[in-house]
């Protein structure tokens, strides 16, 4: 079977770039928390920096996604955005301790506008490299880069902050993000969706930028499985943001030093990496045994179950003494990894192909907003009581689970195979029509059902750039 998954050098380049950018991003958060704490001795400084960075990332996501979908060269846009984000991190570390907090927050807000390129910007390019049933395993491998970054980033931040200082840790994070730029440029060999018609007049088929940004929200609301997964992840990430801010204080109170708090994040990442590796291996086995069989309910269920596991781990972390806190946080990683894998699977399945960048970045921005809200709330709460803050974080996971149930049952309506050789197409189409018609800010009539644009064998092949 011919498949873009068989282009292993291209997939390796994609995964290498994603891992580098995400490792730098994961390292920058703990490094900035440690830098703020080292300079001011107050947790509010670091949490304020992290909140500003993530709020801006949430605000910039929908615009960046719309620009990605409209661009004929999304690889160039992705590369320039990654370079700008790296420069923003450098500027931020130079300003900490040298400028007042309002100016510092402004720099963090500006840098955060380029953050969407790291996560959703990369993931939106994955269906250009792999497609059909191969996308299941490719998505699991993509999720592994998040887990690997979550493991390497905080560990590097802790080691460098303890050894040569928190400023060096922040600079190293910026360097890792910059290393991803060549990999982003290598995506030029894959033709983006909508750029395959040699004489196509794109001005006649594109909605306005504002309507295209609104289309991302419309698709999320219209497709119930996507709505359930998105709402659950947003609320769940508020609790994860609270845990992240608590880690330096947990390190100082229970592990012997604030820098060791970053090791808690690494412990969770080890469990997350292990769980996602098992899922990736299992996805490959299922693909070989049942290559054309849709498995709709499974990722949706994993979103709910993994959220409950995260909540249990936060409650345990609030009460665990000493180094047992490490085991409690690791349990959360065992839930967080499968939650991300399931979330990506739902997005790929439910998102129309012509709105991939828009929907992915919009959903990710909403999740980042939850993280930012939790981080901002955790500053004063952690200063009051670390245990109380973690118990509240555990409560947010219960709220997330209730939000999943409140969003309604996942519709299991039939959806026939739409890809090559009877395989589900990347981002397949559901019963909702939000992806392909005018109601979602689409471009009107299309020759294929919603979600299928650019996914056939003849319209989305890898090509060498000029």
> What string of DSSP letters covers 331-398?
HHHHHHHHHHHHHHHHHHHHS-GGGHHHHHHHHHHHHHHHHHHHHHHHHHHHHH-HHHHHHHHHHHHH
- Residue 272 predicted with pLDDT over 60: yes
Would you state the torsion angle of the CA atoms of residues 277, 283, 284, 286, taken in this order, to the nearest 10 degrees? 140
85-135, pLDDT tens digit by residue?
999 999 988 888 888 888 888 999 999 999 888 888 888 888 777 776 667
Write down the residue that tokens 């955060």 correspond to: 112
Q: How confident is the model at residue 461 (pLDDT cuts 50, 70, 90)?
A: very low
Whole-number Cα distances in Å, 307 to 203, 273, 401: 43, 17, 7
Question: CA-to-CA distance for 4 and 13, rounded, in angstroms?
Answer: 13
Tell which residue, 301, 306, 308, 300, has the closest CA to residue 397.
308
* Phi and psi torsions of 190, nearest 5°: -105, 125
- Residue 383 burial (10 A CB sphere; 0-12, 13-18, 19+): middle
Write down the residue that tokens 């693909």 correspond to: 287
Write down the residue that tokens 């928190």 correspond to: 166
Q: Where are the alpha helices (DSSP H) in 251-355?
A: 261-289, 297-319, 324-350
Question: CA-to-CA distance for 97 and 223, rounded, in angstroms?
Answer: 46
Bridge partners (DSSP) of residue 462 are 190
Q: Is residue 281 a contact partner of residue 127, using CB atoms and an 8 Å limit?
A: no
Q: What residue ranges do the domains of the chain occupy?
A: 7-191+207-412+426-440
Share of the chain above pLDDT 90, in %: 18
Across 180-197, average pLDDT? 70
Per-residue b/e over 326-358, b at no fewer than 16 CB within 10 Å? Answer: bebbbbbbbbbbbbbbbbbbbbbbbbbbbbbbb
Tell which residue, 374, 363, 280, has the closest CA to residue 47.
374
Is residue 462 helix, strand or coil?
strand
Whole-number Cα distances in Å, 287 to 127, 138, 345, 425: 17, 11, 14, 14
343-401, pLDDT tens digit by residue?
888 888 888 877 888 888 888 888 878 887 888 888 888 888 888 999 999 999 999 99
- Asked: is 7-191+207-412+426-440 a CATH 2.10.25.10 domain? The reply is no
Question: CA-to-CA distance for 306 and 446, rounded, in angstroms?
Answer: 38
13-40, pLDDT tens digit by residue?
888 899 999 999 988 988 888 888 888 7
Is residue 417 helix, strand or coil?
coil
Q: How confident is the model at residue 203 (pLDDT cuts 50, 70, 90)?
A: very low
- Would you state the pLDDT for residue 177? 94
Residue of higher predicted confidence among 452 and 291: 291
- Residue 151 predicted with pLDDT over 80: no
Q: List the structure tokens of 36.
A: 């703020």
Q: Is residue 46 a contact partner of residue 173, using CB atoms and an 8 Å limit?
A: no
Tell which residue, 463, 455, 462, 454, has the closest CA to residue 420.
455
The per-residue pLDDT of the chain, averaged, comes to 76
Half-sphere exposure of 236 (CA within 13 A, CB side): 31
- Would you state the pLDDT for residue 205? 57
Q: Is residue 123 a contact partner of residue 325, using CB atoms and an 8 Å limit?
A: no
- Would you state the pLDDT for residue 442? 42
- Would you state the pLDDT for residue 1? 38
Cα 12 to the chain's mean position, in Å? Answer: 19
């Amino acid at each position: 079977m011919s498949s873009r998954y068989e282009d292993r050098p291209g997939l390796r380049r994609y995964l290498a770039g994603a891992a580098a950018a995400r490792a730098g991003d994961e390292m920058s958060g703990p490094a900035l928390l440690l830098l703020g704490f080292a300079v001011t001795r107050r947790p509010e400084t670091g949490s304020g920096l992290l909140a500003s960075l993530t709020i801006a990332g949430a605000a910039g996501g929908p615009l960046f996604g719309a620009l990605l979908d409209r661009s004929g060269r999304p690889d160039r846009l992705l590369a320039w955005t990654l370079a700008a984000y790296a420069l923003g991190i450098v500027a931020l570390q130079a300003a900490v301790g040298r400028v007042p907090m309002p100016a510092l927050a402004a720099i963090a807000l500006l840098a955060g506008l380029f953050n969407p390129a790291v996560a959703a910007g990369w993931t939106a390019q994955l269906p250009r490299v792999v497609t059909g049933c191969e996308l299941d395993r490719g998505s699991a491998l993509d999720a592994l880069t998040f887990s690997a970054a979550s493991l390497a980033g905080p560990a590097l931040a802790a080691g460098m902050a303890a050894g040569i200082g928190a400023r060096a840790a922040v600079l190293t994070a910026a360097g890792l993000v910059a290393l991803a730029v060549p990999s982003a440029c290598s995506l030029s060999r894959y033709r983006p969706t909508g750029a395959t018609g040699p004489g196509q007049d794109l001005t006649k088929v594109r909605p306005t930028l504002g309507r295209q940004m609104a289309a991302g929200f419309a698709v999320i609301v219209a497709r119930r499985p996507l709505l359930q997964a998105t709402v659950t992840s947003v609320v769940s990430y508020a609790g994860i943001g609270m845990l992240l801010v608590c880690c330096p204080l947990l390190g100082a109170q229970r592990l012997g030093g604030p820098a060791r708090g970053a090791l808690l994040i690494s412990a969770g990442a080890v469990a997350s990496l292990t769980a996602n590796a098992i899922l990736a291996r299992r996805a490959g086995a299922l693909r070989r045994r049942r290559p054309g069989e849709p498995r709709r309910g499974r990722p949706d269920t994993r979103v709910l179950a993994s959220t409950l596991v995260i909540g249990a781990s936060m409650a345990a972390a609030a009460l665990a003494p000493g180094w047992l806190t490490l085991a409690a946080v690791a349990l959360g990683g065992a839930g967080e990894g499968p939650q991300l894998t399931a979330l990506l699977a739902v997005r790929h399945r439910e998102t129309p192909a012509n709105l991939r960048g828009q929907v992915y970045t919009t959903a990710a921005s909403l999740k980042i907003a939850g993280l930012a809200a939790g981080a901002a709330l955790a500053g004063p709460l952690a200063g009051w009581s670390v245990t109380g803050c973690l118990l509240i974080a555990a409560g947010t996971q219960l709220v997330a689970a209730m939000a999943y149930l409140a969003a309604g049952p996942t519709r299991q309506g039939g959806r026939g195979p739409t890809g090559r050789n009877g395989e589900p197409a990347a981002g397949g189409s559901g019963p909702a029509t939000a992806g392909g018609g005018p109601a979602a800010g689409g471009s009107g009539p299309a020759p294929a059902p919603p979600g299928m644009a650019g996914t056939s064998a003849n319209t989305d092949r890898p090509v060498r750039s000029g």
